[in-house]
Structure 1
Amino acid sequence: MDERFIGAAQTGDVETLYNLIQGDPFVLDKIDEVPFVDTPLHVAISASQTHFAKEIASLKLSFVVNLNQYGYSPTHLASMVGQAEIVKELITIDPKLRLLMGREKTTPLHCAAMAGHTNVINLLLDGCPQ
């Protein structure tokens, strides 16, 4: 992935995001073609860039289910670090993300529980079918 994309995601620079898309309208599709990679959504969540994460998730819905090279989806990462706002946004986009299995068949709920993030645990359990 282009270093400018990584930098924009890490700093939450939405303006650069749109400049990169204007320069290459297929840039998000190219990232999506690579299996098991940190997408800009993964990077933004890891850097606690909530606004950028919401923006990129709305632009490229497929990023919300992509597993990175470590076997974690964006919802797993947000659950690990206790980013309740992002978790809420992601499960609003797709409620099935609550049950998405990643590395060693862990779900976002497992990640939140292992890290002790009760606010995220409650979000994930609220409305969960199982």
Structure 2
Amino acid sequence: MEFVETPLHIAAEEGCIRFAMETMNLKPSFSRKLNQQGLRPLHLVVRKGHRRVVLRFLEIDKDLARVKGKNGKTPLHIISEVGNNNGLLDRFLKM
């Protein structure tokens, strides 16, 4: 199956930082899976504004800042769509 909703997608969207981090440690490959909407977990946490989860994901794997989702969108594209109210733009530009 090309697109799958993993437990990491669900934890990311809900902002469940402990569960998301445990899932990232146990199954890091989930961080690169696309869900039905063509989004990866990092896209979801950026879109929902879960800043702490975003920063923890990037601590584990800084290359996630450049992962592409549907239509080649990166998390930076998502920040530009939803706005930079949580100050993530600087962090992504540094990466």
Say yes or no: TM over 0.5.
yes
Contact kept? 2:15, 2:53, Cα under 8 Å: no
Among 43, 66, 71, the alignment partner of 1:104 is: 71
- Secondary structure at the aligned position of 1:101 is classed as coil
Gaps of 5+ in 1: 1-33
Q: Which moved more, 1:101-110 or 1:88-97?
A: 88-97
Shift of 1:78: 0.8
Residues 1:78 and 1:84: Cα distance change in structure 2 (over 3 Å)? same
Tell me the residue number matched to 1:59. 26
Tell me the residue number matched to 2:14. 47
Question: Residue by residue, what CA displacement relative to the aligned partner does 1:32-62 show, whole Å, maximum 9, x if unpaired?
Answer: xx43111001001111211111111111110
Question: After superposition, where does 1:63-102 map in structure 2 within 5 Å?
Answer: 63-102=30-69
Tell me the residue number matched to 1:4. none
Shift of 1:123: 2.1
The size of the alignment, in residue pairs, is 94
Q: Which moved more, 1:68-77 or 1:82-91?
A: 82-91
Gaps of 5+ in 2: none
Letter in 2 for 1:101: K
Q: How high is the sequence identity, in percent, across the aligned residues?
A: 35
Among 82, 90, 94, the alignment partner of 1:122 is: 90
Question: After superposition, where does 1:11-26 map in structure 2 within 5 Å?
Answer: none
Greater Rg by CA: 1
CA distance in 1, matches of 2:29, 2:91: 22
CA distance in 1, matches of 2:68, 2:28: 18
Tell me the residue number matched to 1:3. none
CA distance in 1, matches of 2:62, 2:12: 18
> Please, what TM-score do these two structures have when normalized by structure 2?
0.89
> Please, what TM-score do these two structures have when normalized by structure 1?
0.67
